[in-house]
Amino acid sequence: MNAKRLRFIDKAFISALFSLLIFGLVILRSASIGISSDPFFYLKKQVLIILLGLALAILIVRYDYSQFRRFSPILYGISILLLLTVLIWGTEIRGTTGWIGLGSLPMVQPAEFTKVLLILAFAEFLNRRKGELDTLSDMLPCFLFMGIPFLLIIFQPDLGTALVYIAITLVMMFAAGANSKVLIQVIIFAVLLIALCLYLHFQFGMWLPLEDYQLKRLTIFLDPYNDGQGGRGMGWNTIQSLVAIGSGGLTGKGLFQGTQVQLNFLPEHHTDFIYAVIGEELGFLGAAFVIICYGILLIRAIIIASNSKELFGSLLVLGITAMWLFHVFESIGMSIGLMPITGIPLPFLSYGGSSMLANLIAVGLILSVNVRGKKIVF
């Protein structure tokens, strides 16, 4: 790559990214104090992962993203192989068989990496079908392409990642020019089918690949106190998250001063519920700052997609944007009681090696498209 093109890199995108990374490390330091004998254990691991991820992102930026088109079948095959490997030899954690142990190395969650691999493969799959997505029969190969990994994820079972796959699929198909009327009809049919399956499951015991606790999460967030244990059962996480955010007020209780966090009333506060930590300790202003950073990041990504020199690049960036948008919407939504709990991390903020690495690899892909755009993004 011509080094001179690096000066055209989207500075607003980079600024928002590093704001989130630095902000996330500060919050993680507070959120992880009481969950390890070493108060810096999670922070040190996260810093190492970020440095590794940034190094990978820099390497990817220097590589022409369009070259990945040649490897799209291989990338798709690797994704399927990884998901099958997890189902057969994976380790179960919190009811989901989604991790693989590598000896003395940390556990790896392959589903986080398959999101990026599938976006790359699906972008080329759609690129070859440009202008040929008018009817349902035209779209069936696309649904089959993403449906296979979707089913493998469902059987882990990992509802959160499955929902991310759906968001990625629909956004990328729409961006590729798929008939919007047909897509809407498919969405309506799918929603009705899911509602029917849930009804048959709860009323007549029809088998579903998801665990009962995952299915109950789809409705318990509407009234977390109605969990059969007065809010001390499945509704506990939602209630404690709402208490944490509600007690933060405008400016919060201050770093390291959040009672719900420091006294460990809020479960998974360094991962799934890190937004609640922000709300309690830094208040509305801190929570709003995070949303503004995400807004800048996502808007600049959309602008980068619109300036891509080819459809493949646009689809690649929009697929990643859809992935991040759903993660942000779902993670923040479940923290404030508007969405069911699905265990989805908040990009660049939540603790997690696989998630952070996958997201920084995705950053590298977006910037690779950015510096090779057909026109300069200001």
Model confidence over 151-199: pLDDT tens digits?
999 888 888 899 999 999 999 999 999 999 999 999 999 989 888 987 8
Grouping H, G, I as helix, E, B as strand and the rest as coil, residue 269 is coil
Measuring CA to CA, which residue among 56, 49, 1, 6 is closest to residue 24?
49
For residue 304, count other CB atoms closer than 10 A to its CB.
24
**Are 218 and 340 spatial neighbours (Cβ–Cβ below 8 Å)?**
yes
DSSP string for residues in 12-60? HHHHHHHHHHHHHHHHHHHHTGGGSSSTTHHHHHHHHHHHHHHHHHHHH
Q: How many CA atoms lie within 13 A of 190 on its CB side?
A: 11
Give 206 or 109, the one with higher predicted confidence: 109
Helix (H) or strand (E) holding 303: helix 274-306
Name the average pLDDT for the chain: 88
- Percent of the chain scoring above 90 in pLDDT: 58
φ/ψ of residue 96, rounded to 5: -120, 130
**What pTM, to 2 d.p., does this model score?**
0.92
β strands within the chain, DSSP E = 91-93, 96-102, 105-108
Measuring CA to CA, which residue among 244, 249, 247, 283 is closest to residue 264?
244
Mean pLDDT, residues 269-280:
90
Tokens of 274: 């890190």
**β-strand partners of 92:** 97
Location of structure tokens 């509407």: 222
Grouping H, G, I as helix, E, B as strand and the rest as coil, residue 340 is coil
Residue 1 confidence (pLDDT):
56
Q: Is residue 157 reached through a cis peptide bond, with omega within 30 degrees of 0 on the bond before it?
A: yes
Q: Kindly state the DSSP code that residue 178 receives in the 8-state scheme.
A: -
Across 71-86, b (16+ Cβ under 10 Å) vs e yields ebeebbebbbebbeeb
Choice among 110-114, 130-134, 207-211 with the minimum mean pLDDT: 207-211
Domain boundaries, the chain: 3-370
